[in-house]
Amino acid sequence: MSKLDIITLPDPILRQMCVPVERVDDALRRLADDMLEAMYEAPGIGLAAPQVGVSRRLIVLDVSEKDGEKNPIVMVNPEIVHFGDERRSYEEGCLSIPDVKVEIERPAGLTVRFLDRDGRAQQLMAEGLLSTAIQHEIDHLDGRLIIDYLSRLKRDIIVRRFKKQARTETA
């Protein structure tokens, strides 16, 4: 069982702008490993630090096939430096908003700059699902959620449902 709990709506940390990671050290690598464990257990293909209660610019991803070999990616302070011209729609889910799917159109490709788990500067060109997952997780670092791509009415209905559910769980 994962050491980390995935935070769900309406927790306010999901709306905060995360601060950059200042140092890649053993504690950060442990956090990244724990995040990967929580992500695989959920199961999901990406997880951002605020989703486990840490307001830092750190994301983990793995878009490999379920039954295939794992290919985890750790991105510290990821920054998109270029978007491709093509766009694609994808029905996105979010571990912090269970059972909600939102069709979102995003750039189909991108180039992202980040530090890896050893603190080395990296640049990655991504297409398709990996590109979508990177954009989704970076949205989390900026306090943005998939429901922000919906109309205000639909978004408010979902937020009310999760607030009511949170009240019921704490009562």
Question: What are the residues whose beta carbons fall under 8 Å from the beta carbon of 100, sequence distance 6 or more?
Answer: 93, 94, 146, 147, 158
How confident is the model at residue 77, as a pLDDT?
Answer: 98
- Write the CATH number for 16: 3.90.45.10
What total of structural domains would you count in the chain? 1
How confident is the model at residue 2, as a pLDDT?
Answer: 77
The pLDDT confidence band at residue 40, using thresholds 50, 70 and 90, is very high
Q: Is 111 a residue whose pLDDT tops 80?
A: yes
How confident is the model at residue 82, as a pLDDT?
Answer: 97
For 63-88, the pLDDT digits (tens) are 998 788 999 999 999 999 999 999 99
Residue 5 inside a domain? The answer is: no
* Domain span including residue 91: 12-170
- Which ranges of the chain does DSSP label H, i.e. alpha helix? 26-41, 128-141, 152-170
Report the catalytic residues: 137
b/e for 90-122, b at 16 or more Cβ within 10 A?
bebebbbbeebebebebbbbbebebbebeeeee
The DSSP code for 49 is G
Q: Is 23 a residue whose pLDDT tops 80?
A: yes
